[in-house]
Structure 1
Amino acid sequence: MRGTSTRMGRRSVLKGIGTGALGTEAVALTGHGAVGTQRATSPSATETPVTLVSPDDDAPFNYPYFLYSPQSVTEKPRPILVEPNNTGSSTDDFSEHREAARDAIENGFPRGISDELGVPLLVPVFPRPESDPVSWRHYTHQLDTETMHISSGPLKRIDLQLIGMIEDAKGRLSGEVSDQVMMNGYSAAGKFVNRFTVLHPEMVTSVTAGGVNGMVTLPIAEDKGHTLNYQIGVADFESITGEPFDLEAFREVDQYIYMGAEDTNDTLPAGDAWSDEQREIARDVYGEDMQDDRFPYCESVYESGGASAEFRLYDGVGHTVTDEMYRDVVEFHNKHADIPNRDVQSPDRDTQTPDRDVDIIDLLNAFGVPTEAAFVGSIITLSGLSYLLHRTGDD
């Protein structure tokens, strides 16, 4: 899947970031016994704690991040896996964002990837405010255009703040760490990692983005009679980032973009995800139907632009993460992220894909959990239920 062009060197992206005021304390954490923890918890999990890193006055980021590194016997460079936090709703209570990020790194989908592949995991704790310091129309967890146009305050250029977190984490991790990162995200976080990859392709070696409403940011400046500004395209890229879109570096990133064929979670009508002006352009450019119009259109644009991207629809699946999706994400990164072979596999997972598929909707019904409330709370943690049943063999 990889293209032939040379990767671009890292740009000087950390200039101009405000400093933080949230303190410098690092807090050691360990997994705890909720149902979803079984996906990630292993003997090594209690020996290798999760750490909460808060910014000091000189840090190039204004918010804390969680960092975890599984035990590894290899001395070869390993990429960091980055999973943006996704709370599911806007709130000015920062503790909700922090606990959702903690849950993802201790118990969820990304922790399973980290343990299986033996790579460090970083989860930022960016707020998704209701009114402070910005309004609810700034969908920070999607890295939308309103977020990218924040010109001052603690949420200015959170894409650069994330890069600052990554660089800080490299200095804290024992052993060699690769220059580039792996990225994974689903739903809003899937949008975030796709858009971050467009913004900073030189930082990313492989990215998996799921539940993206049929729409990804396009590596083109115009189409169908419209100028395509960010978050649709890259026409105004230089005015936002100070540099032109790097198509050659973008072509070098291995991308897996996926969603359920029965997914009905369309963000296009949402006032926090799209402005009125961009919504109409998006509808005209992408189309109405997520699976029949938008997804194949995006695939054709990526293909025409020479992107190393694979698009996949999963039959019979809605807005959820199935075990098949999980396995495909793990295998994609394992194949494309230049991960060194480990002499010892993580003991908490079978190396074989289970024989049967269990859908999260079925699991929610079995456990008596209301579907809507569950997904708003944490879609990532609920994916752990699927793994638990596979491990126990319980029907």
Structure 2
Amino acid sequence: MRRILRTGAAAAVLLLLSGAAGAASGTLENVWILRNGFTLTVNGRAVEADNLLLEDRAYVPLREAAAAMGMSVTWDPATRTASVSPRSAALRLAAPVDPFNPVVDLASLGVRAEDVEAIGLETAGASYVPVRFALEWDQLHMTDGQATAEGRPVLALHTDYVLKLFTRTGGMLRVGFTTGGLPELTPTGRRQIVLVPPSPEQGFHWPYFLVLPSDGHRQANEGHRRYLIVDITNTGPSNSVADTVARTRAELERGQLPSARLAEELWAPMLMPAIPRPVITYRYGGQQNTFLTHALDRDTATLHLMMQEPGLAALLERQFRQAGVTVDSLMHLDRQVAAMIQHAVGYLNQHGFGVEEQAFLVGFSASGTFVDRLAALHPDQVKAVVAGAALDNMLLPLAEHGGERLIYPIGVADYEAITGRAFDLEAHNRVARLVYMGENDDSNTVLYQDSYGDEERRIITTLWGEEVLPRARALTALYGESGGHGMFILDRGVGHEYSEVMYQYMKAFLQANRDADAPAYPLPDDPEQLPFTLYAP
């Protein structure tokens, strides 16, 4: 229970009343009285009742005075005793309360803010719910700054609560209510950003953002199949969920990512998870590794397998605790994003958006690497993937090459151990795949400690060396030799970015695939700017 500190007027008249007044007999007298010669107020409110003045003493009906002070009166005729006690009442709100911004209108309950001395909140199984209360005029606001910053609701969704209001006069009012669910997705014609909280029971431990497009490009896209566009946040290392949520929102508000531009121009809703990138480095078995969640690296994708080894599991538990996250929250991160996609599709279609079950994955740099790998791990949920700055580190549909076993994320040698099912090249090729990078891109992920572990780096440099462009060309050739399909482009004269010509081709690629039943690979209009390699049936 929280106490509210305040100053204000108490009862304007001191009543000569006791909690229990008893009398076995009385004396009859004739007296002169003045009827209704004064006004009694309680906490600023006039008491509507007849009153009497007798020898400069004020008398009011006990029941009306007690009621004004939140008390109740009972009368025992046998003992001629009037008992006054705090009044307790209960009622229930008819309308659900918004769990993200819970507000209760006290005036509708017949209570004024200045009458409230203390407040408590309880729910089934918890007699105390740790939220802050703020009284603004006659509205009671419930807040939790940390929950809001981390993308969680202040109160649980679809949950029964009891609000306890203790009055300054000793009464208590119990107000039952049920919280609502996710926000209504109502098109306004303007671009909207909606934060969806974590839902472990539905398969994801982190919040995600939904971006609803404006109607600026609606007319050009109506009549075509509509797909959810999915990108992954790439906000840099941080152990703070609140920081990740804030950075992700800021990135979406800028709307400059290729995924955000494409979603707006194709009149497509967009999903971006707010998954943190905690700094977790560990040394085990003579090798050092660092988690890179935003690229779905080997450590992230195989966490569930590593936790099966007791010594390594104990080490990882310690490292995760130091980073302020739990192992469970990052376990099966690929499945969590897949669950977010499924959840978002259902949420959107519940509000009439009519999106397809599969999604378009679009990313650049680390998020380009993530979507390339996610498409390989969950091909059935992906219609098309556009992976930018990923030509030199794309996952090959190949298990072995040059005497080396191509483990994830280089190839698919341990695909079954990670996913629980054998790699299916046919399913892999049902995803329309566009992978590109700038011809002058010198962002060499092989040299980064968090991009690859020691063993992965050894395999890559042994087979293809350290240089970016030769490796990109070698991987492109091997992709076709292994039976993989896709469009692979080197964006001429461009570094770790993309040209406007490349962007327009991305758009044309997704437009071609949204209405196609099989992967479609339109040829670039400007092959001088976009020299390409195409592997298709």
Same fold (TM over 0.5): yes
User: In the TM superposition, what are the counterparts of 1:40-79 in structure 2 within 5 Å?
Assistant: 47-56=190-199, 58-70=201-213, 71=215, 72=218, 74=222, 77-79=225-227
1:143 is the counterpart of 2:320: no
Other-structure match for 1:385? none
Other-structure match for 1:379? none
1:317 is the counterpart of 2:465: no
**390, 399, 402: which one aligns with 1:221:** 399
Conserved in 2, the CA contact under 8 Å of 1:104 and 1:111? Answer: no
Other-structure match for 2:230? 82
- Aligned equivalents of 1:144 and 1:316: distance in 2? 29
What percent identity do the matched residue pairs reach?
A: 33
Counterpart residue identity of residue 119, structure 1: A
- Aligned equivalents of 1:316 and 1:77: distance in 2? 35
Other-structure match for 2:256? 108
Conserved in 2, the CA contact under 8 Å of 1:187 and 1:210? Answer: yes
Query: In structure 2, do the counterparts of structure 1 residues 327 and 55 end up closer, same or farther at CA, with 3 Å as the change threshold?
Result: same
Conserved in 1, the CA contact under 8 Å of 2:364 and 2:388? Answer: yes
**371, 374, 382: which one aligns with 1:196:** 374
**470, 483, 487: which one aligns with 1:306:** 483
SS of equivalent residue, structure 1 residue 115 = helix
Give the TM-score of the pair, scaled to structure 1: 0.71
- Aligned equivalents of 1:108 and 1:150: distance in 2? 33
* Count of matched residue pairs: 307
1:210 is the counterpart of 2:357: no
**414, 420, 431: which one aligns with 1:242:** 420
Deviation at 1:323? 2.0
- Aligned equivalents of 1:215 and 1:120: distance in 2? 28
The structure whose RCO (Cα within 8 Å, separation 6+) is larger is 1
SS of equivalent residue, structure 1 residue 231 = coil
Conserved in 1, the CA contact under 8 Å of 2:303 and 2:332? Answer: yes
The root-mean-square deviation of aligned C-alpha atoms, in Å, is 3.0
Query: In structure 2, do the counterparts of structure 1 residues 156 and 22 end up closer, same or farther at CA, with 3 Å as the change threshold?
Result: farther
Unaligned runs of 5+ in 1: 1-19, 30-43, 341-352, 358-395
Counterpart residue identity of residue 124, structure 1: P
1:328 is the counterpart of 2:481: no
SS of equivalent residue, structure 2 residue 466 = coil
Structure 1, residues 274-304: CA drift from partner, whole Å, max 9, x if none? 111110101122333211x212222112212
Unaligned runs of 5+ in 2: 1-149, 158-181, 283-287, 305-326, 518-524, 530-537
Other-structure match for 2:147? none
Deviation at 1:176? 1.8
Conserved in 1, the CA contact under 8 Å of 2:491 and 2:498? Answer: no
Query: In structure 2, do the counterparts of structure 1 residues 157 and 126 end up closer, same or farther at CA, with 3 Å as the change threshold?
Result: same
Query: In structure 2, do the counterparts of structure 1 residues 338 and 75 end up closer, same or farther at CA, with 3 Å as the change threshold?
Result: closer
Q: Which moved more, 1:224-233 or 1:251-260?
A: 251-260
Conserved in 2, the CA contact under 8 Å of 1:139 and 1:273? Answer: yes
Query: In structure 2, do the counterparts of structure 1 residues 269 and 45 end up closer, same or farther at CA, with 3 Å as the change threshold?
Result: farther
Query: In structure 2, do the counterparts of structure 1 residues 56 and 228 end up closer, same or farther at CA, with 3 Å as the change threshold?
Result: closer
Other-structure match for 1:16? none
Query: In structure 2, do the counterparts of structure 1 residues 175 and 46 end up closer, same or farther at CA, with 3 Å as the change threshold?
Result: closer
Query: In structure 2, do the counterparts of structure 1 residues 280 and 98 end up closer, same or farther at CA, with 3 Å as the change threshold?
Result: same
**318, 333, 337: which one aligns with 1:158:** 333
Q: Rg larger in 1 or in 2?
A: 2
Counterpart residue identity of residue 118, structure 1: W
Deviation at 1:252? 1.5
- Aligned equivalents of 1:271 and 1:228: distance in 2? 19
- Aligned equivalents of 1:277 and 1:132: distance in 2? 15
In terms of fraction of residues, the more strand-rich structure is 2
- Aligned equivalents of 1:75 and 1:197: distance in 2? 27
- Aligned equivalents of 1:313 and 1:76: distance in 2? 30
